[in-house]
Structure 1
Amino acid sequence: MHLSISLFIPLITSAVVVSGRGFSLPPKPGHAPRHKYRSFSERTSRLEARHTPYYLTNATEKFAVNGTGVPDVDFDLGESYAGLLPISSAKNETRELFFWFFPSDNPAAGDEITIWLNGGPGCSSFIGLLQENGPFLWQPGTYAPVQNPYAFRNLTNMLYVEQPVGVGFTQGVPNITNEVELTQEFMGFYKNFVNTFKVHNHKVYLTGESYAGYYIPYIGDGFIAQNDTKYFDLRGALIIDPIVGDDILQQEVINIPLVDYWSNVFYFNKTFTAALHETQDACNFTSYFEKYLTFPPPGPFPDIASTFTDECDTWDAIYNAALEINPCFNPYHILDTCPLLWDVLDGSNYLPAGATIYFARDDVQEAINAVVGTNWTECSDGNVFGYGTDDYEDYSDTSDPPAQNGVLKRVIEHTQNVLITGGNLDFVIPTNGTLLAIQNMTWGGLQGFQNDPRDGEEFYVPYHPEYNEGAMAGAGIVGRWLTERGLTFATVQLSGHELPQYAPGAAYRALEVVLGRTKNLGVISDFSTQNGNYTRGALVKERSFQDIVVGM
């Protein structure tokens, strides 16, 4: 029997299910006249003086950011560079991507660049910078920015890129329809970045989350195809809670087992729960899940999307029912409850009277060499794969999922160094959905994992005696992991969609593994930076017994 449970509650739009942020997208960025760069002396008069800047040259000086002049940040961010670079070498090129580059003081980072990409499609990578793994954090519900002891910049030279054209501070008219065209845009930009900052022959690592599960494999595959280590020496990738396969596999087939596992969180009544299970059975999701989420898998998966109907849309039904019980339900981190936290990026769609979106402020835009007056939003309301229109039906990313067409396979086999994570509190891209997509992929001569990563080795995050109270992280055993044929899959039990935000110690450790700073996720050892620049001067204190045991 087919139950139309998706008709019980109004549907949210399917176009934003994999958006990587909130479910109603902010207004489209406007493009003001190009900002005239301030003079070099104005921009660098207070640039950090503790060492000679690594990358300051005549070519890069217009991008220099005053480390003590970023609004509301009351500590020195050190050396960094931000601005626009074109996506090609054409003299009349009008399309430009925006970046913010943070060199690292870590000696091991000398010949590497690590790139961070948020998803969407159409969301800014400054989400990750400001609320996940950047050197300063301004997370939802907090009063002001704080230093981030788990900043990826502590490990490696970090490059945050807003892309494709149409996102954030980027300039030009969007004109792509697929990931191959996006890759060409990105490679043109990155080649200009390499030439500008003289970072030729640097190892490149790609990191990101959500829809970056498309971006990273396609961009990585493009780098590999160039066969040019002067510019495109890809060495590895960290892909967090990604969409890499068919969205029916990743967001529908696996929903009811997730609701059952977290039944005390969703807390649905018996009637609704029974209706969900009947729909799961009627749509053949139960048998599909039981047969194909196995290790090793039985063989190539049949196309379940061809029989999918609106009546099978349990994701929307669950989401809307959860909102009835918990009006502040957050599918990116299902443990969240009210009150709704205000967000300086407007990611929660709640901005109190008098509050402003941080990167939409003129003073912030001037400080980072952006076009002053840009109507910056964290996610574009225009379709970046549809010529900037709001048409998501006829114009969208036409690329096949990278786990289905050999793109992700080639990146794994070339680098032997891809790490994919799944946060078990993520309902947007659930862990089992990602695993199901991977089990339908062949790499290294075999299909899928031969053993279940969820039963793998323990994922260990080092204990640390110091912390910044504005940016803390757990330690000890946080999940499980398994590596087979160059691909590692790791689960983190108490993380949501954004691993560096919800489990920053685990994200930091994962990046250490990808960079080769530690052997694997199970090694019992300190962070590689724990006795060096781990805190980067943040206010820290000893963790006391009273801090740990409530009521003592």
Structure 2
Amino acid sequence: MRTATLVLAGLLSLVHVGAGVGAGRRHREALQRQEQIRRRQLDAKTREPPYESSGRRQSRGRFLNENTMQFAVNGSGIPDVDFDVGESYAGSLPISAEPGEESSLFFWFFPTTNQDSGKDILIWLNGGPGCSSLEGLLQENGPFLWQYGTYRPVQNPWSWHTLTNVIWIEQPVGTGFSRGRPTAQNEEDVARQFNGFWRNFVDLFGLHGYKVYISGESYAGMYCSYIASAMLDANDTNYYDVTGLMMYDPSITYDLVQEVLPTAQFVEYWGGLFPFNDTFRQSIRDRDKKCGFSAFIEKHLVFPPKENLPPPRMFPGRLTNGSYAPECADLFGDVLDAAGVLNPCFDVYQIATTCPVLWDVLGFPGSDPYIPHGAKVYFNRTDVKMALHAPLDVAWEVCTDDPPVFVNWTDTSPPPTQHALPRVIDATQNVLIAHGALDMVLMANGTLLALQNMTWGGRLGFQTRPDRPFYVPRSWLSGDSLATSAGAGVFGSFVTERGLTYVGVALAGHMIPQYAPAAAYRQLEYLLGRVDCLNCTVPFTTDGQPPPQSLDPLGAGTAPQGWSDDSLI
């Protein structure tokens, strides 16, 4: 579960995988052997083709043919899911077309149900590094949801496949059901392997010429930025027509900037959720002042920015010999420890969480999961693996570091703000970064500080403060079940300049599509060009009979943004 004591083992979040088509003889034979085992064990219902899987006979799958049949998932044969999830395809594809390629990525692809969608597809990646994108599918933006603490899966009215074709990919090699020996040393290696998989996937499903949108969260801020940049560098729109990028609470700079520097300001702003005694609270303030963290933020987190940040070796909190003073480097961890004493179920991913600990069918976090007696991790069940054409001999974990997905546990690439992310912004003019206000894994002030130190469109940072109201329409979509209810109204703040949009999302933790699904849905509509504003009250494009929208003035945005002066602390 997402408690403080369990989360400290692996703070950055979740990942995703991919693979390719020209498998090589040994790879194909291995898949054929697994398929033979599967067919002998599945019952008649599970063997029904996906286009005959519901009570009413459906039309033939849009992407079903002789080549894709082996990947077709029976929409009504998914264990514990008592409804038809529709057409989908899952399985493994290699990371290159080279004969004998043994490394592969695992995917689950859902064609869109939206009649108005054109030739476009969205890639979803979680982070980690080493965490599975199936987490995103099952608990964030997939066709069915099994949230932690809930009894069984439910249909998701906020599924992103109701807007566009979506593929959830477990990557890099070593993540989830992906196969092979991890060899990546940096993001360039990750992007090269991913794009090899992507060519194979496009060839298999005939997606040539499709517009490609890339989205992800947490450490996928690294993945998404570099993969999108590499796709653009390929200059091949037949396979890599990158049209937009959207990232949630992303890793885009040094951990010190997004985790440590904003700690004291974050604790002050959310004081009611950190009910420390006076002496400990004062010690946080004293250490912050001595280390110079808030002063550093107040100098640099301004709109427009006055200057670039100094190089990391000159960040505050260092001793004269260049190492970090312990009272500075340990401030973030000491606050988490103290919060965990007051609230044993403190959740660094969403700081408003309290006890009890809720069972998570994903077994999160992977390094030290809370698994009640008799419970099983969903994607590690044999029946689930068989239904998804997943390798039966892989012990699936939501997050893994054994072996690490990067050689020696180290990603040697610089932060994407230095080159990859500006490259994507300038090329697409369609990048959105959103950050949950209740996330302490990566804090909003750190993300804004990183953006104010990034040059794109010929200028440094945002010129104006992100204070325009981000509006989420009310909808009939969530009216049937409390299990899929979602908030509406003015739900945060945003700014858009030179092709980049930043959105601060109120009442959301690290995984915005999980905590604020309607907000994420609206952001995806904006990314896809289905709506042209984030502060207008037009209904969702998928609402058949939209409820009346607010005619009242929206006022200013509501998510805390840029806590860089005393009046906001």
Query: In the alignment, which residue of structure 2 is the partner of 1:47?
Result: 53
- Give CA deviations for 1:24-59 in whole Å, capped at 9, x if unaligned: xxxxxxxxx866215599251643532221000111
Deviations 1:376-431 (A, max 9, x none): 000012253444xxx54xxx10110001x211000001110000001000000111
Residues 69-94 of structure 1, C-alpha deviation per residue, up to 9 Å, x if partnerless? 00000000100000000000001100
Matched, 1:119 2:127: yes
Q: State the distance in 1 between where 2:326 and 2:170 align.
A: 34
1:352 matched residue in structure 2: 372
Counterpart CA distance in 2 for 1:145 and 1:18 is 26
Does residue 1:384 correspond to 2:404, yes or no? yes
Q: Provide the residue aligned with 1:183 in structure 2.
A: 191
The DSSP-based 3-state class of the residue aligned with 1:204 is strand
Mapping of residues 88-237 of structure 1, within 5 Å: 88-237=96-245
Structure 1 unaligned segments of length 5 or more: list them: 1-9, 22-32, 535-552
Alignment-derived partner of residue 474 in structure 1: 487
- After TM superposition, give the deviation of residue 300 of structure 1 in Å: 1.0
Gaps of 5+ in 2: 16-29, 319-323, 547-569
**Partner Cα distance (1:467, 1:416) in 2:** 37
Measure how far apart 1:328 and its partner are: 0.1
Deviation at 1:523, TM superposition (A): 1.7
CA distance in 1 between partners of 2:399 and 2:164 (Å): 27
Corresponding residue SS for 1:489? strand
- Cα-to-partner distance string for 1:261-312 (whole Å, 9 max, x where unaligned): 1001111111111111111111111210110011111111113455233321
188 and 15 in structure 1: CA distance in 2 versus 1, 3 angstrom threshold: farther
Residue 512 of structure 2 corresponds to residue 499 of structure 1: yes
Q: Secondary structure, in 3 states, of the residue corresponding to 2:469?
A: strand
Structure 2 Cα separation of the partners of residues 189 and 410 of structure 1: 22
- Show the counterpart of 2:24: none
Q: Counterpart of 2:326?
A: 310
After alignment, is 370-379 or 135-144 more displaced? 370-379
Structure-1 residue corresponding to 2:448: 435
Q: 2: CA distance between counterparts of 1:130 and 1:77?
A: 12
2:355 is aligned to 338
Verify the 8 A CA contact 1:417 1:487 in the aligned structure 2.
yes
Distance 2:6 2:85 in 1: 40
Query: CA–CA distance in 2 between the matches of 1:205 and 1:492?
Result: 21
For the Cα contact (< 8 Å) 2:379–2:385, is it kept in 1?
A: yes
Residue 510 (structure 1) aligned with residue 523 (structure 2)? yes
CA–CA separation in structure 2 for the residues paired with 1:488 and 1:234: 17
Find 2:421's aligned residue among 403, 408, 427.
Answer: 408
CA contact (8 A) 1:122 1:383 kept: no
SS state at 1:433 partner: helix
**Cα contact 2:431–2:499 (8 A) shared by 1:** yes
Which residue number corresponds to residue 399 of structure 1?
Answer: 413
Q: How far apart, CA to CA, are the structure 1 residues paired with 2:254 and 2:235? A: 30
Equivalences for residues 227-266 of structure 1 within 5 A: 227-266=235-274
Equivalent in 239, 248, 269 of residue 277 of structure 2? 269
3-state SS, counterpart of residue 416 of structure 2: coil
Partner of 1:216: helix, strand, or coil?
helix
Amino acid paired to 1:402? P
Q: Distance in 1 between matches of 2:499 and 2:325?
A: 37
CA contact (8 A) 2:526 2:533 kept: yes
Aligned to 1:280: 288
TM-score normalised over the length of structure 1: 0.88
Identity between Structure 1 and Structure 2 (%): 47
Are the structure 2 counterparts of residues 326 and 287 from structure 1 closer, same or farther at C-alpha, using a change threshold of 3 Å?
A: same
1:371 matched residue in structure 2: 391
- Larger mean CA deviation between 464-473 and 57-66 belongs to 464-473
Counterpart residue number, 1:540: none
Question: How far apart in 2 are the matches of 1:235 and 1:468?
Answer: 34
Contact 2:222–2:415 under 8 Å retained in 1: yes
- In structure 2, C-alpha distance between the alignment counterparts of 1:229 and 1:487, rounded to whole Å: 22
What amino acid maps onto 1:354 in structure 2?
G
Count of aligned pairs between the two proteins:
505
Distance 1:277 1:178 in 2: 37
Q: 1:16 aligns with which of 2, 7, 10?
A: 10
Q: What RMSD in Å do the two structures reach over aligned CA positions?
A: 2.1
How far, CA to CA, are the matches of 2:6 and 2:484 in structure 1? 33
